[in-house]
């Protein structure tokens, strides 16, 4: 017994090359049930010209911006590398939780301007030096400005948001 396949208009298909992307109904499909991995495939309209191609999830990493959050503990040194971000950041914002439980934005920097001083906590002073002194392939480097201060105060906990 042979199988016949039809598109949404009821026309018989002679090959799967005749299936328009719009005719594929994925709503009834089974969920992948796992995280997306580099080897997973996606359909891409190459150049928006109707030439559909496949691509792996790993290629999307080169196109989609990356976001990472994390924590670190200051060591009081004039140069502490914060690694494990997974990419070279283009923007970093560092937070610290004050005694009252409110999160204060201490510093922020971009890959084009390291000294973007900011202070969002009403009880804290404005920092003139951002304290983020470099960006690297897997994170960024913070400085205590030589006075065991933010964003690298010894034993102080910090949170960061990095965007690549």
Q: Is the pLDDT of residue 67 over 60?
A: yes
Is residue 38 located within the same domain as residue 78?
Answer: no
Residue 81: which H helix or E strand, with range? strand 80-83
- Look at residue 1 and tell me if it is in a domain: no
Which structural domain, as residue segments, surrounds residue 146? 67-163
**Residues 104 and 147 occupy one common structural domain:** yes
Determine the pLDDT at residue 85. Answer: 93
User: Helix, strand or coil for residue 59?
Assistant: helix
Asked if pLDDT for residue 22 goes beyond 70, the answer is no
Looking at the fold, whether 53 and 84 belong to one and the same domain comes out as no
* Strongest mean pLDDT among 17-26, 83-92, 138-147: 83-92
Q: Is residue 50 one of the residues assigned to a domain?
A: yes
Closest-CA residue to 81 (of 115, 132, 130): 132
Per-residue model confidence (pLDDT) at position 82: 96
Determine the Cα–Cα distance for residues 142 and 161; give it in Å rounded to an integer.
14
Q: What backbone torsions phi and psi does residue 138 show, to the nearest 5 degrees? A: -135, 20
pTM of the model: 0.57
In a domain, 112, yes or no: yes
Please tell me whether residues 49 and 100 are part of one structural domain.
no
Domain count, the chain: 2
Is residue 150 within 8 Å of 106, Cβ to Cβ?
Answer: yes
Within-domain flag for 19? no
128 pLDDT exceeds 60? no
Do 84 and 104 share a structural domain? yes
Per-residue tokens: 84: 């494990």
The reply to whether omega before 162 is within 30° of 0 (cis) is no
Query: What is the rounded distance in angstroms from the CA atom of residue 114 to the CA atom of residue 122?
Result: 23
Distance in angstroms (rounded) separating the CA atoms of residues 56 and 129:
42
Give yes or no: residues 102 and 80 share one domain: yes
- The SS3 call for residue 18 is helix
The token pair that represents 54 in the structure block: 């496949």
Residue 52 has, within 13 A of its CA and on its CB side, a CA count of 10
Mean pLDDT for the chain? 76
């Amino acid at each position: 017994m042979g199988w016949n396949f039809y598109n949404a208009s009821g026309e018989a298909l002679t090959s799967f090359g005749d299936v328009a992307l719009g005719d594929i109904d994925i709503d009834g499909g089974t969920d992948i049930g796992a995280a997306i991995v580099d080897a997973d495939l996606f359909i891409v309209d190459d150049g928006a010209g109707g030439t559909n191609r496949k691509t792996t999830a790993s290629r999307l990493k080169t196109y989609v911006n990356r976001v990472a959050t994390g924590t670190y503990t200051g060591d009081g040194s004039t140069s502490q590398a914060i690694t494990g971000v997974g990419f070279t950041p283009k923007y970093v914002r560092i937070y610290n939780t004050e005694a009252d439980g409110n999160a204060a934005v201490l510093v922020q920097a971009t890959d084009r301007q390291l000294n973007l001083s900011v202070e969002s906590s009403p009880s804290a002073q404005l920092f003139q030096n951002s304290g983020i002194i470099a960006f690297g392939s897997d994170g960024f480097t913070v400085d205590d400005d030589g006075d065991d201060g933010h964003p690298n105060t010894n034993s102080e906990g910090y949170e960061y948001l990095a965007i690549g």
